[in-house]
Amino acid sequence: MINEEIVHINGIPKRLVVFLHGYQDCAGHIDHKCLKLQDLPDTALHIPDSPLISEIDHTTRQWFSIRQFDPNDARRDTPSWEEFVELYNKMTVGLESAYQNIMEYIDNLLSEYQLSYSDLFLCGFSQGAMCAMYSGLMCPYKIGGVISFGGILAAQGYIENHYMNKPDVLLLHGQDDEKIRIGALEFTAENLKKLGCKTQSYSFADTAHRITDEEIDIAKNFIIERSL
């Protein structure tokens, strides 16, 4: 179960923003990058730590094992786009396991704040972005929105046949991303639109696999626009 987190509350919460860290990452690493999200009025911002210790660096966390599905890190340099996508399609079991943990955590928070799913904005970076998209699509209730920083629609084939909802999605990706190649942005946007999701996508020049202030500003506006 998820029982470690960083929490920022501004006013009386009328919306819940949950930010999922990446692979070999943790809530503490993400927290300082989300400073502007803390300014959202009447908002509870929760940054949970995954309960799973990283299989590579035991000082960090992971939402699911990557080496179980890609033991040689082939996704980073495989020349074929089809092979690249197929590696992420193999991660369904990991994503489903993470989803069960994440949704139990979110259900408890919504109950605590007496909010509905429509008040929930689920954000994530890298592996956390994959989990955020998967969770928003598989959730039985439509949430306020999903925000992906440097992610990809993993388990796309499974999602296409089993998705439960069509949340609004914001995609943000660096053009120089060395871990999840920039082609993931167009791939993800196209497939989300096929599912019926209202999707916005932005790419950023001279930006690698990281979160920038500009991206956080866009994410903040995305949340505000859907909370009016």
Give the domains, in start order, of the chain with CATH numbers: 5-225 (3.40.50.1820)
For residues 101-106, average pLDDT: 97
- Whole-number Å distance between alpha carbons of 102 and 176: 30
Q: What angle do CA 187, 188, 193 make, to 5 degrees?
A: 105
pLDDT at 22 over 90: yes
What's the confidence (pLDDT) of residue 48? 98
pLDDT at 227 over 90: no
- Whole-number Å distance between alpha carbons of 169 and 132: 10
CB 184 within 8 A of CB 76: no
What whole-number percentage of the chain has pLDDT above 90? 92
At 10, give phi and psi (nearest 5°): -120, 110
For residues 62-90, average pLDDT: 89
What's the confidence (pLDDT) of residue 78? 78
What's the confidence (pLDDT) of residue 139? 98
- Res. 71 pLDDT band, cuts 50 70 90: confident
Quick: pLDDT tens for 148-168: 999 999 999 999 999 999 999
Quick: pLDDT tens for 128-140: 999 999 999 999 9
pLDDT at 79 over 80: no
Q: Return the C-alpha torsion angle 129, 105, 64, 91, nearest 10.
A: -60
For residues 167-194, average pLDDT: 97
- Spacing of C-alpha 105 from chain mean position: 15
Q: What angle do CA 45, 49, 54 make, to 5 degrees?
A: 150
CB 132 within 8 A of CB 123: yes
For residues 101-108, average pLDDT: 98
- Does the pTM surpass 0.95? The reply is yes
CB 89 within 8 A of CB 155: yes
Q: What average pLDDT does the chain have? A: 96
What's the confidence (pLDDT) of residue 34? 92
CB 173 within 8 A of CB 201: yes
- Whole-number Å distance between alpha carbons of 218 and 1: 31
